Structure 1
Amino acid sequence: RYIINCCFINSLSTGSSLSDKVDQTPADIYKEQGQTAKIYCSHRIDNYDKILWYKQLNGQLQYLGYLNIKNGNPEKGVDVTIEGDANKNKNCTLTINSLSVSSSAVYFCAASYHSATCH
């Protein structure tokens, strides 16, 4: 069995900490090799519409990708799926596919706002 620890980090913002407005569940996951694991993240922050996902293994932080509003964007070469809705009071799901020994790690989500400008 593999254990996956799930945590959250402060939302990406300036000023006061908003970490009490970001929720991630479950706290721990126990799965067998080859199975999938799902981690859920939501926030209660006005105007934030982006969820970022990270994995920490052996002291190294790896960026897994993000969900912008409803569009999942996993990093290339990372066997995860990111889906859901990144808006306030909605759920974003990180699915870790084909679990292996290296999947046993700490996973983090963070809330942010998408600041792209259209021309």
Structure 2
Amino acid sequence: MFTFLFTVTVLVLCAAGLVEGSEVTQTPTILWGLKDSDAQMNCSHTKGAGYYQMYWYRQRPGEGMKQVALTTPNSKSEYSGDFSEDKYPTVKTDAESGSFTVKKVEAGDSGMYFCAVSEHSDTDDKHSCTKTPEFQ
């Protein structure tokens, strides 16, 4: 039986509405994993505690980018589509950092994995809205 080496490449996402790449650090920058081993990457930023929402994305060769998970400190991560915590567990205990793991790496896991952070917005908070005066 042969053991194959698969590459998981890690890059920083820079997009409108998200933190500029120079303020987000993702390590390692290139992640290698042996078949059936786990591969972990870490993400941190220097934007402050208001930027506590962390997003993890995957882009396979020839495909568009897909959101894997949204994490917030000390909360259960929200997974998109067919992605699950069993395959892609996350840890986020504070606002400025988090980690993402690809469990039991296989050929289909090859691709680019991105971390991005976003500032929390309380637009759904009823106390942050003002009532429009009624005219008679």
Q: TM-score, normalised by structure 1?
A: 0.84
> How far apart are residue 115 of structure 1 and its match?
2.0
Residue aligning to 1:80: 88
Q: Structure 1: where are the runs of 5+ without partners?
A: none
Amino acid corresponding to residue 85 of structure 1 in structure 2: T
Q: Matched residues in 1 for 2:101 and 2:72: separation?
A: 16
Q: CA 1:11 to 1:45, structure 2 compared with 1: closer, same or farther past 3 Å? A: farther
**Counterparts in 2 of 1:1-119, with a 5 A limit?**
1-10=5-14, 13=17, 18-46=20-48, 47-60=50-63, 61-71=65-75, 72-78=77-83, 79-88=87-96, 91-116=97-122, 117-119=124-126
Whichever of the two has the greater Rg, that structure is 2
> How far apart are residue 75 of structure 1 and its match?
2.8
> How far apart are residue 76 of structure 1 and its match?
5.0
Q: What is the Cα-based RMSD across aligned positions, in Å?
A: 2.0
Q: TM-score, normalised by structure 2?
A: 0.74
Q: Structure 2: where are the runs of 5+ without partners?
A: 127-136
The runs of 4+ residues in structure 1 deviating greater than 4 Å are: none
Q: Percent identity?
A: 19
Amino acid corresponding to residue 44 of structure 1 in structure 2: T
